[in-house]
Amino acid sequence: MARKSKASEKAALIPVKPAEITPQPITETIEKNYMPYVMTVIIARAIPQIDGFKPSHRKLLYTMYKQGLLSGPRTKSANVAGATMQYHPHGDASIYETMVRLTRDHEALLHPFVDSKGSFGKHYSRDMAYAAARYTEVRLDPICHELFRGIDRDAVDMVPNYDNTKTEPTLFPTSFPNVLVTPNVGIAVGMASNICSFNLAEICDGTIALLNDPKIALNDFMDIVKAPDFSTGASIIYNRAEMKEIYRTGRGSFSVRSRYAFDKKENCIDILQIPYSTSIEAIVKRISDLVKEGKLKEITDFRDEIDKDGFKLTLDLRRGTDPDLLMQKLYKLTPLEDEFACNFNVLIGSTPKQLGVMQILEEWIKFRLSCVVRELNYDLGKKREKLHLLLGLGKILLDIDRAIAIVRGTENDADVIPNLMRGFGIDELQAEYIAEIKLRNLNREYIINRISEIEALQKEIAEIEGILASEKKQKKMIAKQLADVRDKYGKPRMTQLIYTEDVVEYDEDDHVENFPVKLVLSHDGYFKKITMASLRGNDELKFKDGDMLRTDEDAENIHELLFFSDKSQVYKAKVSDFEPSKASVLGDFIPAKLGFDAGERCIAMKSQSDPENDRGTFVLLFANGKGVRIPADVYATKSNRRKLTGAYSDTAPCVGIFYLAEGEERDILLVSDTGRGMILSSTLIPLKTTRTSAGVQLMTLKAGQSMVFSAIDFSNLFDTPPKIRKLKIPSAPMALPESFTPPYTDLPTD
Q: Burial level of 595, CB count in 10 A (0-12/13-18/19+)? A: exposed
How many other CB atoms are there within 10 angstroms of residue 319's CB atom?
A: 6
Report d(CA 629, CA 632) in Å as an integer. Answer: 9
Are residue 632 and residue 692 in the same domain, yes or no? yes
Of 549, 653, 558, nearest to 605 by C-alpha is 549
Which of 423 and 509 is assigned the larger pLDDT?
A: 423
Three-class SS of residue 356? coil
Active site residues: 135
Gap between the Cα atoms of 271 and 258, Å rounded: 7
The span from the CA of 605 to the CA of 524, in Å, is: 12
Measure the CA–CA gap between 456 and 469, rounded to whole angstroms.
Answer: 20
pLDDT band of residue 471 (cuts 50, 70, 90) is very high
pLDDT in tens, 312-359: 999 999 998 889 999 999 999 999 999 999 999 999 988 899 999 999
Cα 568 to Cα 644: distance, rounded to the nearest angstrom: 9
Enumerate long-range contacts of 181-184, CB under 8 Å, 24 or more apart: 181/52, 181/110, 181/111, 182/52, 182/53, 182/109, 182/110, 182/111, 183/108, 183/109, 183/230, 183/276, 184/48, 184/52, 184/54
User: Taking 70 as the threshold, does the pLDDT of residue 392 lie above it?
Assistant: yes
Q: Which of 565, 597, 629 represents a domain boundary (last residue)? A: 597
State which of 319, 335, 351 marks the end of a domain.
335
With CA atoms as reference, report the closest residue to 555 among 608, 633, 615: 608
Q: Count up the domains in the chain and report the number.
A: 5
Q: Is residue 461 part of a domain?
A: yes
Within 13 Å of residue 623, how many CA atoms lie on the same side as its CB? 16
Residues 412 and 455 in one domain: yes
Average pLDDT over residues 650-675: 91
First to last CA, the chain: 63
Query: CA neighbours within 13 Å on the CB side: how many for 157?
Result: 6
Annotate 473-507 with three-state secondary structure.
HHHHHHHHHHHHHHHHHCCCCCCEEEEHHHCCCCC
Task: Determine the Cα–Cα distance for residues 156 and 367; give it in Å rounded to an integer.
Answer: 10
Residues 619 and 739 placed together within one structural domain of the fold: yes
The CATH number linked to 290 is: 3.30.1360.40
* 201 domain residue, yes or no: no
Kindly state whether residue 10 falls inside one of the protein's structural domains: no
In degrees, rounded to 5, the angle at the alpha carbon of residue 441 between the alpha carbons of residues 437 and 443 is 120
Among residues 471, 489, 507, the one where a domain terminates is 489
Q: Is 33 exposed, middle or buried (0-12, 13-18, 19+ CB in 10 A)?
A: exposed
100's CB contacts (< 8 A; 6+ apart) are 106, 120, 121, 130
Residue 34 counted as domain residue: no
Q: Does the structure show a pLDDT above 60 at 46?
A: yes
What is the C-alpha separation between 40 and 42, in angstroms, rounded? 5
Tell me the C-alpha distance between 643 and 592, whole Å: 14
Instruction: Residue 629: name the closest of 545, 696, 562 by CA.
Output: 696
pLDDT in tens, 600-639: 999 999 999 888 888 999 999 999 999 999 999 999 887 7
The CATH number assigned to the domain holding 87 equals 3.90.199.10
pLDDT band at 18 (very low <50, low <70, confident <90, very high): low
| Alpha-carbon gap, residue 576 to 543, rounded angstroms | 22
pLDDT at 536 over 80: no
Supply the pLDDT for residue 505.
Answer: 75
Interatomic CA distance for residues 99 and 138, integer angstroms: 9
Is 563 inside any structural domain? yes
- Choose the weakest-confidence range: 96-105, 449-458, 637-646: 637-646
pLDDT of residue 13: 59
Q: Do 709 and 730 lie in a common domain?
A: yes
- Identify whether residues 615 and 735 lie together within a single domain: yes
Whether 591 and 632 map to the same domain: the answer is no
Q: What are phi and psi of 367, to 5 degrees?
A: -65, -45
Residues 654 and 689 occupy one common structural domain: yes
Could you read off the pLDDT of 239-248 as tens digits, one per residue?
A: 999 999 999 9
More confident residue, 419 or 374: 374
> For residues 64 and 60, what is the distance between their CA atoms, to the nearest angstrom?
6
Q: Is the pTM for the entire model greater than 0.85?
A: no
The whole-angstrom separation of Cα 491 and Cα 200 is: 7
- Does residue 124 lie in a domain region? yes
- Split at pLDDT 50, 70, 90, the class of 231 is very high
Give per-residue pLDDT as tens, 541-587: 888 888 888 889 999 888 999 999 999 999 999 898 888 888 888 88
d(Cα 140, Cα 73) in Å, to the nearest integer? Answer: 10
pLDDT tens sequence across 723-748: 899 999 999 999 988 878 888 888 77
Rounded Cα distance between 117 and 136, Å, is 6
Mean pLDDT of 361-380: 96
320 & 374 share domain: no
Arithmetic mean of pLDDT over the chain = 89
Same domain, 592 and 633: no
Output the CA torsion 196→200→205→207 (10° steps). 50
| Weakest-pLDDT range from 87-91, 370-374, 638-642 | 638-642
Cis status of the peptide bond prior to 730, with omega within 30 of 0? yes
- Bigger pLDDT: 503 vs 142: 142
Q: What is the model's pLDDT at position 6?
A: 55
Contact (CB, 8 A) for 368 and 210: no
Range of the domain at 320: 259-335
pLDDT for the residue 707: 93
For 93-165, where are the E strands, in sequence order?
114-117, 137-140, 158-160
Do 528 and 629 lie in a common domain? no
CATH number for the domain harbouring residue 375: 1.10.268.10
Give the largest Cα separation in the chain, rounded. Answer: 148
673-690: average pLDDT: 91
pLDDT the model gives residue 1: 44
Do 590 and 624 reside in the same domain of the chain? Answer: no
Q: What local confidence, expressed as pLDDT, does residue 717 receive?
A: 85
Average pLDDT, integer, range 235-240: 95
- Is 728 inside any structural domain? yes
Would strands 251-257 and 337-343 be described as parallel, antiparallel, or unpaired? antiparallel
CA distances from 231 to 122, 343, 357 (A): 11, 19, 19
* Residue 160 is assigned to a structural domain of this protein: yes
Same structural domain for residues 468 and 542? no
